[in-house]
Amino acid sequence: MSPAAFILIRMNATPPTDEELVSRVCRDQSAFEELHRRYDARLRGFLKTLNHSPSAIPDLSQETWLKVYTHLGKGNPFEGNFRGWLFRIGENTGKDMLRKRKALPLADDADPAERDQKWRPDAEDTAQLQHCFGDLSDREREVVRWRLEGQSSQDVANTLQITPEQVYATFNRAKTKLQTCLGATKDQSCSP
């Protein structure tokens, strides 16, 4: 086959799926590079929604891709949705970084009680919120979490493999349940 014919055939071919690329990662470095090219900008955008400083995003992205490469070397550790799996690793890597940052000692002039009031709801509010979130289905909790983290309905739909309309309906149903539950909890706590 002539080089021109090979190029013409390759130009008409559909790009490989994520699953095809994943299956080739161990023996073909270009497969991993293609996954990185496809998703790195989206991953960085997602990491920004997790309230990380812009200067931390490159390190988080690099750490996430390192974990992905390590896991892919052990086989196919996800079920069909590479993007969702990648974002989950990014989310967990970001949480790890935030935990490490919180573990740093406070400045001498910082009042720990004042900092706690700024960052945490009181125990009663936390208990009410946990109770109300417990009343949501797993799907509703997942949609609420992703939407509150700034993901678009389309991104959530792609990650959860549902339609954007289902995301919208699920989010609104969960929001109504939470409002009802929180309102009922507050009404009960105010009753004589």
pLDDT in tens, 155-185: 888 888 888 888 888 888 888 888 787 776 5
Q: Please give the pLDDT value at position 119.
A: 40
80: left (phi over 0), alpha (psi -120 to 50) or beta: left
* 97 has a pLDDT exceeding 60: yes
Amino acid sitting at position 141: R
Report how many helices (DSSP H) and strands (DSSP E) the chain contains, helices first.
10, 0
Q: Please give the pLDDT value at position 12.
A: 57
Burial class (CB in 10 A: 0-12, 13-18, 19+), 93: buried
Mean predicted lDDT score pLDDT of the chain: 75
Report the range out of 47-51, 73-77, 104-108, 116-120 with the highest average pLDDT.
47-51
Average pLDDT of the residues in 126-150: 81
Q: Please give the pLDDT value at position 188.
A: 45
Structure token digits, residue 143: 């949609």
Q: Please give the pLDDT value at position 120.
A: 47
* 40 has a pLDDT exceeding 90: yes
pLDDT category at 38 given cuts 50, 70, 90 is very high
Contact 14, 1 (CB under 8 A): no
| Whole-prediction pTM | 0.49
Average pLDDT of the residues in 102-122: 48
